[in-house]
Structure 1
Amino acid sequence: MTRPLVVNADDLGLSRGINAAIRRAHVDGIVTSTSLLTVGRYAADAAAMLRATPSLAAGVHLALVGEDPPLLSAREVPTLVDRAGRFPLSYRTFVARAATGRVDLDDVRRELGAQVQAGLDLGLELGHLDTHQHVHLWPGVGAVVVDLAEQHGIAHVRLPRAHGRSPIGLGVGVLSRRLRDRLVAHGLPVTAYAGLEEAGGMDRAALGRAFRALAATPAAAAEVNVHPGLVDADSSRFDWGYRWEDELAALLDPDVRADLSAHGFHPSTFPVITGGS
């Protein structure tokens, strides 16, 4: 018997090239699900693609960091933005501010609530929530995201994990266990995960390692997090060092699909299980 594996593409709505690549990675490859940045410049274009591609499952990629402004005004969420009214670029800045009491969780709740509502207003059926740069690993943000999932009847919240032993990986491990406990307490699924450390570099070899790592877990279901894209004028503004086109090529590779099956998985979407474990 095989286990369900969700191959979820993040950053839908960030650029037209990313939107097109995610669609192709679904139609011709192994991507089964995607996460929409409703703050993204091309969220409406992405939503139109999703409505035309009903087999591609969708959730919201909630943002408190990145290179786009929030949906709400700076007056409505003053502790989330800089003087220009934009989110900080990196999770590091957000965590430093949150850890020193400079982030108001009411601002977080208002902005993330607006982002979920924006997805619903675009006519999407939402199966999951996750966050840009995994900021819901921070406990206060995680609590807000779980509450929003319950409020809107969304059945899945991503549980990011790190598989390495770096200092960042160890820190992620501590926060991940706290988030897992919260998911279990709220009766939400706990799904094995890979992709945090490989973000922007999930090529064929990295996908193979991810499949092996997930196959070694006892979890009933699993998620691989990927970032396919096509480099264009929109995506070139992001200086992240991501190899979007290499990820797209890997996701289209028939040998990768065969490797997925060989490790005991079949492609699936959220929700994949109905309770915490």
Structure 2
Amino acid sequence: MSERPVLVVNADDFGLTTGVCRGVLDAHAEGVVTSTSALVVAPAFRRHASALAASGIGVGLHVALVGEDPPLLGAREVPSLVDRRGALAPTWRHLVARAARGAVDPDDVRREAEAQLAVLRSAGIAPTHVDSHQNVHIWPAVARPLLALAVDHHVPGVRVPRSRRWTASGVGVRVLGARLRAAVRGHGLLTTDAAAGLDEAGTWDETSLVAAVHRLAADGGPAELATHPGADPDPERDRYRWGYRWADELDALCRPGLREAVDRCGFVLGDFGDLSPASGA
């Protein structure tokens, strides 16, 4: 294990589309991406799972409890997660509103997450970490069953999102993120000491990525840089109206200047499985 701090450069949403899958694998082969979070409910995951398993990239489970794609389980199995049509809440705001009312059953969260984990493992992938689509696991009612899942299924790491913003949502992320980090530590799981990418989701370029690496290095310790690369053309992506600049992020992640910044700041690239137990201690 290197004494240099680990930088996990994670590409979210593997499986969303063919272009996103290609972008993640290209950013690993040609750039600095060392880790991805797999969205197994998304349409392209099964088509590209074998390439993912063969790539050598660290893979986490991107638990989907919100979003455009349906859950693996039906309404009778996870009634508190879906509407009358069996659809998940469209965004984190909708799910958090339900959770705040006590209307999200942690057992439903656990059942759906276990079904998604089984898909990942059936592809021959041993996950390095757990996180969630739109980072809803920062909410305690979601975090508790997912942390228990990680412990029971021997998944070593958990993402802890951070925000630098002083907006209401940014302060909420700071408070809930600190609680999540303490819970991760209490369960004996691994995480990073710092992270970037929540505030910047879908907007990275080379300049902002290099600046983020320098900020993370100044914070000290292991860190995560969350990104969203994707290759063009990608007509499948039209159904996801997020406004992300996937191709720009892919280009930035493969720039030699970014790799030079990682080296200059004293990081070693790795995935969540490369973190030491002291991370988050």
Give TM-score scaled by structure 1 length.
0.96
How big is the shift at 1:218? Answer: 3.0
Residue 35 of structure 2 contacts residue 59 of structure 2 at CA under 8 Å; is this kept in 1? yes
Deviations 1:203-261 (A, max 9, x none): 11221222122112132x11111000124121111110100011001001111111111
Residue 104 of structure 2 contacts residue 141 of structure 2 at CA under 8 Å; is this kept in 1? no
Residue 7 of structure 1 contacts residue 223 of structure 1 at CA under 8 Å; is this kept in 2? yes
How big is the shift at 1:262? Answer: 1.4
- Residue 78 of structure 2 corresponds to 77
Residue 107 of structure 2 contacts residue 145 of structure 2 at CA under 8 Å; is this kept in 1? no
- Residue 45 of structure 1 corresponds to 47
Q: Which of residues 241, 252, 255 in structure 2 aligns to 1:253? A: 255
How big is the shift at 1:190? Answer: 3.3
- Residue 20 of structure 2 corresponds to 18
Distance of 1:62 and 1:120 partners within structure 2: 14
- Residue 207 of structure 1 corresponds to 209
Residue type of the partner of 1:203?
D
Q: Does 2:276 match 1:273?
A: yes
How big is the shift at 1:139? Answer: 0.5
Residue 59 of structure 2 contacts residue 126 of structure 2 at CA under 8 Å; is this kept in 1? yes
Alignment coverage as a number of residue pairs: 275
Deviations 1:135-182 (A, max 9, x none): 000001111111111011111000111122222110100100110110
- Residue 131 of structure 1 corresponds to 132
- Could you list the runs of 4 or more consecutive aligned residues of structure 1 that deviate by over 3 angstroms after TM superposition? none
Distance of 2:168 and 2:120 partners within structure 1: 35
Give TM-score scaled by structure 2 length.
0.95
Residue type of the partner of 1:81?
V
5+ long unaligned stretches in structure 2: none
Q: Does 2:135 match 1:167?
A: no
Distance of 1:208 and 1:145 partners within structure 2: 32
Distance of 2:96 and 2:129 partners within structure 1: 23
Give % identity: 46
Deviations 1:46-99 (A, max 9, x none): 31111231x211111001011000000111111111222111111000001110
Residue type of the partner of 1:211?
V
Residue 36 of structure 1 contacts residue 46 of structure 1 at CA under 8 Å; is this kept in 2? no
Residue type of the partner of 2:73?
L
Q: Does 2:25 match 1:28?
A: no
